[in-house]
Every structure is written in structure tokens, then in C-alpha cells.
Chain A
Amino acid sequence: MFQKNPMSNRENGHEPETIIAASVKVEGDFASQGNVLIEGVVEGSLKTESDLRVGERARIAADVSAQNAVIAGEIRGNLTVSERLELESTARVHGDVKTKVLIVASGATINGRVSMGSEVEAKVTAKAEDRSGKGLRVAAEKLRVAEPVEKEPAMAGEEKVKTVNPFFR
């Protein structure tokens, strides 16, 4: 997912990449155009137009949006990934998940709705800094699920907990 390139940032057209180490906390509306690696604490909202990696020790209390993501830590918030989402065995997601392709390792936890399919169109519009200067807002304009991968009968009173795992059908 993360490609090595020895050329300078400007030559590559590289967007800046962000690393939040374990000893750092970010509060507010964090947005990036480049890849993001989180090992620390994030509260508020987290958005990247590229790839996101959440390390095992990371604690995120925010709605998260990315193009591709690999999650090994904890997220308390909704997770929207426009392409591919991979949950490693230590991943714990407490919120709704929306993605096109989902890979879940044994041991990963999702407590929330999972929406996915062959055609998941998520238009995420990043508005420019608003007039009040209070920062970026991410608005999901349109989300359409064409063909759900699995259909489970909904039982009355039962919270929908759905994991997509080919080994348990």
C-alpha cells in the first residue's frame, strides 16, 4: 500500500504524509491529502484522500474516512472507506462501516452496521475552509449500495452485527 520512492516530494508530486506516533494526541478536524499512519490518539474527525493505517496501539474517537485503510487498533466512530478496508486481528471498530471491499482477520471486532458491495459509491465532498474559519467539514453526499454481499434475516430486537468472513457462512 505504501510505495517507496527515493525522489524528492515535488518531483513525485507526493502529497505530504502524516505520522502520529504513540506519544501524540490530535484533537479536532484532521484532514490530509496524503497517506496517514496513526499510532497515537485522535479525537474529532479524521479524513484522508489516500491510505490510512491505524496501528495496534492507536485509539481513535472520531469518524474516519479514507480511500484504503488497514486497521489494527481501536476506532469509536463511523468508518467510511471508498475502496478497500482490512481489519487485522487486533482491530476493534465501534461504529458503522462502509466500504467496497472488506477483509476481516480472525479476532477483529465490529460493533455496528456493515454496508458494502460490488458497487459502493461514496462521494465525499471536502468543502474548503468555511467562512467562519472553523475548519474543514466532510459531507457524505451520496452513498449507494447496489448488491449486498450477504443477506441475513433480521430478527426483531436483535442488533445487526455482521462480519463478512468466508469461513463462517
Chain B
Amino acid sequence: MYYYIYDTFLTDKKHERTIAEIETRLTDLGITGKIGRLTAFTNAKGLIRDESKRGAQTIVVVGNDETMAKVVEGLGDAKVTLGIIPVGTPTSIANALGIPDGVDACDILSKRVTQKIDLGVVNGRYFLSHLRIPGGNVSLESDGKYRVTALSPDCDIVISNLRGTGERQETQGGYCAGDPMDGWLDALIEPRPGSMGGFRGLFRNRHDSVASVIPFRKASVTSPEPISVIADGKAFTNDSLSIEIVPDRLRVITGRERVFAA
């Protein structure tokens, strides 16, 4: 049984035709279902909770990366399969799962090729793709065993669970960061985009542009100042972050062009 969650912005006229095409295609494929809409008064958590009690086994996100972030955050303990029909921008999470934009996503949905992937948890809330933490005076402590600090203020820390398309970060030994099926989160400490240019860039060694890759299962991020975080495109601020991996937490419908292997 399919349950479709539409984001608020889809009521915009510019998406009208795309939505109509999608709904027609879903009817042709025989995978229509009930529709729920995110509004100022309804959130994903409540919708998922209610519909999974009523027997919905597949939740389909219709929207962009932010819609996906809202739904993943609201999963709670629900054991459902997640699909996505990307509409709007950005849609990097859907692309990383191998789901094309618009109507073509319906065919992927009907094939129901699923993978069990890891989810990250930050301060009790799930994230699927990554966290971005601006650098500066921030340190990452892994399981109380060791602490990692960026020596340069021009670095960002990216906690990656699912890498984007075109972001393959592979070590010489073949280990690939951002694999959502390996049971690890990867802390990438990388120069901030644009920080290598200008006057200071003239004196930078090429080694400074290499990102650090630090796999971990559980870590905390601390800073003397409040930490601004962007989790799957959603921004929030907190005094400290507690981050861990939940292996094999979510079953998702994927396409052949996904960035990770089965």
C-alpha cells in the first residue's frame, strides 16, 4: 500500500503540469495511493505515524531534498519502505539514490528495487545524506578515544552517510567515503569552497586542498560557540552535537544509477 507525501511548494502553478503527469503515470502503473500534504499544521512525523498504523508499507516522498529531510527526520520507529519522486530543486539525494527527476521516477518506483541503507542520527534526529558543519573552532571527538581538530579556520566538517553524484571520495586503497551500506559515517574535513582562491591561495600548497577522511560510528562535535549545522539541507543550531550511525535502518527504493553498489 502506497502513501504519497506532497510538499507544500507543489501547490505552485509551475509544478501543476509535472504533478498531473506523475499522477497519470502512477495510475497507468497501478501504484496509486492515498495522498498526504505537508502544511503548516501537519508534519511528516504525524502523517507517517498515522498511515503506517493504517497499513501503509511504502511512503513516497514527492518533492525535493528538503522534503526528503523532513520525512526522514519524522520516521521515528516506523518500519516502512521509502521511495521518492523528485520534483523541484535541489534533488541531489534522489539522484544519489539513482532516481531521475519527474515522471521517469514513477517507473523506478514500480520496479521496487530496494536496498537497506544506514541512517545517521544527530542529537536524536535522523539524517540520510550528510551534515555540514562550518569549521573554525570546532573539534570532533570519536567515542572518547581521540579528538580531531582542523588547524585551519577555512575548513568545513562534512559528516557523510550518502555521497552525492560526482562526489566520489576514494582513498588509494579503494575505500569510498559516503557509502550508505557500510555501517560507517565518514567525517570529511575539507577546505571551504572558495577558500583556496585570492591572495592566500597563492601561498597554499597543493596538499592543503586534500580532504581528510575519518570513518567513525559514534562521535561528538564540540565548540566554545553555538554550532550551526545543515542536515540534509535543513539548518539548525546547537551547543554540541552527538552523532552516530544506525546501520541498515531504512529500506529505500533505488535506481540503477545510484552512487553505491548493492
A39 touches B145 (CB 8 A): no
Complex Cα distance A17/B147, Å? 17
B145 touches A31 (CB 8 A): yes
Q: Which residues of A contact B176 (CB under 8 A)?
A: 8-9
Contact of A6 with B174 at beta-carbon distance under 8 Å, contacts A21-B189, A21-B207 already known: yes
Q: What string of 1s and 0s marks CB contacts (under 8 Å) between A1-36 and chain B? A: 011111111111011111111111111111110110
* Stretch of B80-88, B148-156, B236-244 that contacts chain A: B148-156
B175 touches A9 (CB 8 A): yes
Number of interface residues of B (CB under 8 A): 37
Main secondary structure of the interface of A (DSSP, over half): loop
Q: Which residues of A contact B4 (CB under 8 A)?
A: none
Main secondary structure of the interface of B (DSSP, over half): loop
Complex Cα distance A41/B150, Å? 10
Q: What string of 1s and 0s marks CB contacts (under 8 Å) between B143-175 and chain A? A: 111111111100100000000000000011111
A23 touches B171 (CB 8 A): no
B210 touches A28 (CB 8 A): no
A17 touches B213 (CB 8 A): yes
Q: Which residues of B contact A27 (CB under 8 A)?
A: 146-147, 149
Number of interface residues of A (CB under 8 A): 45
Shortest C-beta distance, A83 to chain B (Å), equals 16
Complex Cα distance A31/B217, Å? 13
Shortest C-beta distance, A15 to chain B (Å), equals 8
Among candidates B152, B171, B191, B207, residue contacting A39 with C-beta atoms closer than 8 Å: B207
Contact of A41 with B207 at beta-carbon distance under 8 Å, contacts A3-B174, A8-B179, A10-B182 already known: no
Q: Which residues of A contact B211 (CB under 8 A)?
A: 19, 21
* B contacts, CB < 8 Å to A: 143-152, 155, 171-176, 179, 181-184, 186, 189, 191, 205, 207-208, 210-215, 260-262
